[in-house]
Copies of this chain bind each other. A is one copy, B any other.
């Protein structure tokens, strides 16, 4: 990004300076925001939202205090952005599920989700599931986080409703039960999986799917 001319051009009796109009703004701004969120995310995955100080985020992001505050008005906005970002993983789970050509069974859907959760958790830059757990706690007294969390979770749970409906249609599952209830249970297995993985460390998609399969098999 070098300045091209140091000496003014002279044309029509006027001197001209060449001014860079960096296209920067749009993408650059987003990239910087992402950079900051990434820095913050890795702090939060380690220390939680509240032990993470702005100084941590600033240091980790490699920017200055002023720069960070140029992209986010407050720590709360960064917290919300991290939560959004982490809960955005839900969208990725969703895409993964919808990419499947054939319809999935309940167990199949759960297995797919669990495997993708593990995949996401192991991405570099801080375990998303750790952030999800922070987000659960935060959502209880932070309306912004609550709003994101509930909408994302309703979305994913909606997918399980669809799975339940199909299973009811082909007679695999009792057709008289509200598919929402079935989805509550299926979706409701995720937090328990995440929590046991983080706190007890002895679950895996394989053990979990095996356990569920055993329960479902008559």
- For the complex, give the distance between the alpha carbons of A182 and B140 in Å: 30
Copy count, this protein chain = 4
The listed residue (B11, B139, B140, B218) touching A218 by CB distance below 8 A is: B218
Stretch at the interface among A33-41, A46-54, A95-103, A115-123: A46-54
Cβ distance A216 to chain B, nearest Cβ, rounded Å? 6
Q: Which residues of B contact A218 (CB under 8 A)?
A: 218
- For the complex, give the distance between the alpha carbons of A138 and B134 in Å: 8
B182 touches A208 (CB 8 A): no
A141 touches B195 (CB 8 A): no
Q: Does A203 contact B (CB under 8 A)?
A: yes
B199 touches A192 (CB 8 A): no
- Closest residue of B by beta carbon distance from A136: B133
Q: Which residues of B contact A146 (CB under 8 A)?
A: 199
Known: A48-B138, A106-B215, A215-B216. A185 touches B174 (CB 8 A): no
Specify the main secondary structure of chain A where it touches its partner.
Answer: helix
A184 touches B211 (CB 8 A): yes
Cβ distance A21 to chain B, nearest Cβ, rounded Å? 5
B17 touches A21 (CB 8 A): yes
Q: What 0/1 readout, one digit per residue, does chain A (175-203) give for beta carbons within 8 Å of chain B?
A: 01110111111111111111110111011
Q: Does A13 contact B (CB under 8 A)?
A: yes
List 19 extra interface pairs beyond A4-B14, A174-B217, CB under 8 A: A14-B20, A14-B21, A16-B20, A17-B21, A48-B137, A106-B215, A133-B136, A150-B199, A153-B200, A154-B200, A173-B217, A181-B208, A181-B211, A185-B189, A187-B196, A188-B208, A190-B192, A215-B216, A218-B218
Q: Could you list 15 A-B pairs, sorted by A, with CB under 8 Å?
A: A13-B23, A14-B22, A15-B21, A16-B19, A16-B21, A48-B141, A49-B50, A136-B137, A137-B138, A149-B199, A150-B200, A174-B217, A184-B193, A184-B211, A188-B193
